[in-house]
Amino acid sequence: MGEMEISLAEIAQRVANCQKCPLYKNTTKPVPGEGNPKAEVMFIGEAPGFNEDQQGRPFVGRAGKLLDELLSSIKVARSDVFIANVVKHRPPENREPLPTEIEACREYLDRQIEIIQPKIIVTLGRFSLEKFIPGVKISQVHGLARFVEINGRKIIILPMFHPAAALRGAGVMNMLRQDFLKIPQFLDNQEKVPLENSATKEENTKDNGSQLTLI
């Protein structure tokens, strides 16, 4: 086992022992995330649900089955990507995560990103989107890639609807399927990514003072 795997395993162990917020008290298993430690694409969702809490794995319920299907549609194996959530323990009754819970988990997710160094981060849902591109609506920016500088590296952020939202409506499902088809072209031609805005603009994000650049 290499250094990267050990580091991700260490994070998983810290998540398992974490008591920084009350969520751990009523959960079955922590869900730190899983996948390829050298993944080029990292998917970040919201929080574990019932099935994820039972298995200790991300995206294994109905939304997870849809995610697997979407990955197949672009001929990418689940084992080739890394899948995580903003929050690592299940909120009660699948309620939305609180700001204090997101903050408690932030160091774990930040460290995972630092270790994996993905080329693309696909945000699934608004909580993941808010971490990297605060103050925007997912309905307005889904499928529109942009660079965010994280730890001195430019990473493509590609916002998408959460698969759970797609399961509730055909319109969102169609948009999610179309947005997914953009992933291969960004991987193949990263230097010429069609970004959201032709003007250059920089503004501070909330996340570690990272710079957001619209090119």
For residue 204, what pLDDT band results from cuts at 50, 70 and 90? Answer: very low
Does the pLDDT of residue 213 top 90, yes or no? Answer: no
Instruction: Give the CATH number of the domain where residue 121 resides.
Output: 3.40.470.10
CA 13, chain centre distance (Å) = 20
What are the tokens at 206? 């909330």
Residue 210: per-residue pLDDT: 41
Residue 197: pLDDT band (50, 70, 90) is very low
160-176 per-position pLDDT tens digit: 999 999 999 999 999 99
**DSSP string for residues in the chain:** --HHHHHHHHHHHHHHT--SSGGGGG-SS----EE-TT-SEEEEES---HHHHHHT-SS-SHHHHHHHHHHHHTT--GGGSEEEESSSSPPGGGPPPPHHHHHHHHHHHHHHHHHH--SEEEEESHHHHHHHSTT--HHHHTT-BEEEEETTEEEEEEEE--HHHHTT-HHHHHHHHHHHTHHHHHHHTGGG--BS-SS-EEEE-SSTTPEEEE-
* Domains of the chain: total: 1
pLDDT in tens, 75-102: 999 999 999 999 999 999 999 999 999 9
Residue at 131: amino acid letter: K
Query: Cα 193 to chain center, whole Å?
Result: 19
Each residue's pLDDT tens digit, 29-67: 999 999 999 999 999 999 999 999 999 999 999 999 999
pTM of the model: 0.88
Cα–Cα distance list, 185 to 24, 33, 163, 191, 203 (Å): 39, 25, 21, 11, 27
Nearest to 196 by CA among 175, 214, 178, 176: 214
Q: What residues make up the domain containing 91? A: 3-214
